[in-house]
Structure 1
């Protein structure tokens, strides 16, 4: 796994993971900026990572990043909405 990063010029959060074949693949979330809120538009895992738990690990890193940076998240992507609902320990980073 590589470090979580915010690629500001692309408005994208990214994190690399090793797939079952040993290749580094990416999970990313595209976002829009609204002040200190990041609107999560789309979360996508490389097909080779699907079913490995990488997307959930990525979402945890995203929520931790938001908390550390004082950001709020507004999930619009179905996956992000569902993940945040299942992980109430991150309710403090969800914009209301």
Structure 2
């Protein structure tokens, strides 16, 4: 469906290309955690699971970096509640 999630460190956001559109999740770093502050999916892509795919990929990156996550936006709070397998990432 879409390409892999990438960490755009220059823009402090995780990105997922879907066709010519980009879904993204802005973040701030702390010494041990990533605070995801906002998730944005282009209107034309909403309702297709794109944001969930984006956050799943972002959490994989965060886990790979040995960090924890702090949900700073409602979508990430809900995603973590629906996916208890990621409980180990909560800061």
Question: TM-score, normalised to structure 1's length?
Answer: 0.87
1:48-87 equivalent positions in 2, closer than 5 A:
48-87=44-83
1:88 to 80, 84, 87: 84
C-alpha root-mean-square deviation of aligned residues, in Å? 1.0
Unaligned runs of 5+ in 2: none
Structure with higher Rg: it is: 1
Report how many residues are paired. Answer: 90
SS of residue matched to 2:4: coil
CA distance in 2, matches of 1:35, 1:88: 24
CA distance in 1, matches of 2:4, 2:53: 12
Ranges of 4+ aligned residues in structure 1 off by more than 3 Å: none
CA distance in 2, matches of 1:85, 1:62: 16
Unaligned runs of 5+ in 1: 19-23
